[in-house]
Amino acid sequence: MRLGFLGAAGEVTGSCTLVEAAGLRFVVDCGMFQGGSEARGKNQRALNFGCDMRRIDFVLLTHAHIDHSGLLPRLAMLGYRGPVYATPATIDLLHVLLPDSAHIQEKEAEWHLRNRHRRGMDPRAIPVPLYSVEQARAALRLLRPVRYGEILRPVGDVAVRFHDAGHILGSAWLEVSVSNAGQKRRLIFSGDLGQPDRPVLLDPQQPDGEADALLVESTYGDRRHRSLAETEDEIVEVCARTRAAGGNLIVPSFAVGRTQEIITLLAKLVRSRRLPPLKVYVDSPMANVATRITLAHPELLDAEAHELIAWQQAHPELLKLEFIADVERSKQLNAIRSGAVIISASGMCEAGRIKYHLRENLPRRECSILIAGFQAAGTLGRRLVDGARLVRIFGQQVPVRARVVTVGGLSAHADQAALLDWLGGFQRPPRHCFVGHGEASAAAALVTAIQARYDWPEVRATVPGEFVNL
């Protein structure tokens, strides 16, 4: 058996593992590299499996995040026509996320083309989209649904089971058994694992038994998250202060997952009377669709989320939610001077309607900006977190007088303690444990922590492009 770590090794994007066993080839995740100037080149060189695409037997997707799924249209463009297995909720999200990813790339290329003279850009340096909206739609036709717990037999000697990973809606960790000449090998792929006890989703299911090879993520392998209780206290404090000052609370938020978590947390805090009645505007077409998809999968939500959804529907006057699709209505929000909570995307303030709300509200001392997600270096969100006094939005200088508050307890990824607890599910030490999907320092810290706690025979970080024979 051979494993190839073709992405998310020493970094957190571009997830892709090639498995060759028993005369078969399959791929786990087909993610896009994101961030940094090298991402484009890496995406163009990615999916280099060393064989004709038609010789890949099947593809398994752990979840819908673009860094795990975003090169699927490219895989199809390169000739892959076989099945791509994913959970039903992942498939629902991909129907929105993949065409959107193509659309963003097309817009970016158009923008560069329009502005190339002003920026003195070499036409050869203008980014070409990795795929078009049409090609993204074509790739969606390869998707095949698999429910959690169901035994899938993609080909004769292989059995696959998807288990809830508690990371985003529909996310899964995978158990793959391959039989060859009377010998059975069990592989576990963690995908991205969620933090237990977070709002909305069920907690990750634990693995059990044993594994010949385990690939585990390490995004926060070197960190411990702040507790949810602290985050709730911070939200209560920032709401009270903004209300007293007579301003608005602006929340830049990822459309999938984070927006639904924040709505749920606000509902919990209003219901328990820690917050007064609120008027919340969700101003992001993508967040509206993601919320609809979330509500369409009640089987994936935890008991508290069910209770809070029912409570909100019974008391719309206490938590007034308005989902805004229309651009004109979105513009009207600019006229609201106080008392509004506006949740909008993108989560890192780089694109989308959030930029308009920031332009209106950042210069006003009485407003607050609540940052509840990771902000990558170089983004507008990061500049705000870092305390910039002046930022550029749509070519204008905008002074930052609003208060910027960062809350740290809402990560979609398990921290080191939660990762170690999850790994505690194995009854026997996995024979090979590979730590991937983390910056080098995070992966190294998790390797050390696993060895200290479990003393497994082989634990090591993955190396990009490396193939290992087992």
Distance, CA of 384 to CA of 409 (rounded, Å): 19
For Zn ion, the closer CB: 85 or 281: 85
Q: Position of tokens 């006003």?
A: 364
For Zn ion, the closer CB: 165 or 459: 165
- Tell me the one-letter amino acid at 182: G
For Zn ion, the closer CB: 73 or 194: 194
For Zn ion, the closer CB: 429 or 438: 438
Which one of 65-73, 283-291, 304-312, 329-337 is the stretch in contact with Zn ion (CB under 5 A)? 65-73
CA-nearest of 224, 225, 220 to 442 is 220
How many residues of this chain bind Zn ion (CB under 5 A)?
2
**Rule CB under 5 A: is residue 186 a binding residue for Zn ion?**
no
**Rule CB under 5 A: is residue 65 a binding residue for Zn ion?**
yes
Question: Are the beta carbons of 408 and 226 closer than 8 angstroms?
Answer: yes
Question: Are the beta carbons of 8 and 16 closer than 8 angstroms?
Answer: yes
**What's the closest the beta carbon of residue 257 comes to Zn ion, in angstroms?**
9
CA-nearest of 145, 141, 191, 139 to 168 is 191
Distance, CA of 357 to CA of 248 (rounded, Å): 10
- Tell me the one-letter amino acid at 270: V
Which one of 61-69, 282-290, 296-304, 443-451 is the stretch in contact with Zn ion (CB under 5 A)? 61-69
Which one of 64-72, 371-379, 388-396, 424-432 is the stretch in contact with Zn ion (CB under 5 A)? 64-72
**What's the closest the beta carbon of residue 90 comes to Zn ion, in angstroms?**
11
Which of the residues 418 through 457 are near Zn ion (CB under 5 A)?
A: none
Backbone angles phi, psi at 360, to 5 degrees: -75, -40
Exactly one of 11, 29, 92, 192 binds Zn ion (CB under 5 A); that residue is 192
Distance, CA of 43 to CA of 20 (rounded, Å): 22
**What's the closest the beta carbon of residue 110 comes to Zn ion, in angstroms?**
28
Which one of 58-66, 203-211, 245-253, 352-360 is the stretch in contact with Zn ion (CB under 5 A)? 58-66
**Rule CB under 5 A: is residue 225 a binding residue for Zn ion?**
no
Question: Are the beta carbons of 260 and 269 closer than 8 angstroms?
Answer: no
Distance, CA of 337 to CA of 184 (rounded, Å): 65
For Zn ion, the closer CB: 247 or 409: 409
Question: Are the beta carbons of 380 and 387 closer than 8 angstroms?
Answer: no
CA-nearest of 193, 174, 171, 410 to 297 is 171
**Rule CB under 5 A: is residue 11 a binding residue for Zn ion?**
no
For Zn ion, the closer CB: 175 or 192: 192
**What's the closest the beta carbon of residue 389 comes to Zn ion, in angstroms?**
33
* Positions in the binding site for Zn ion (CB under 5 A): 65, 192
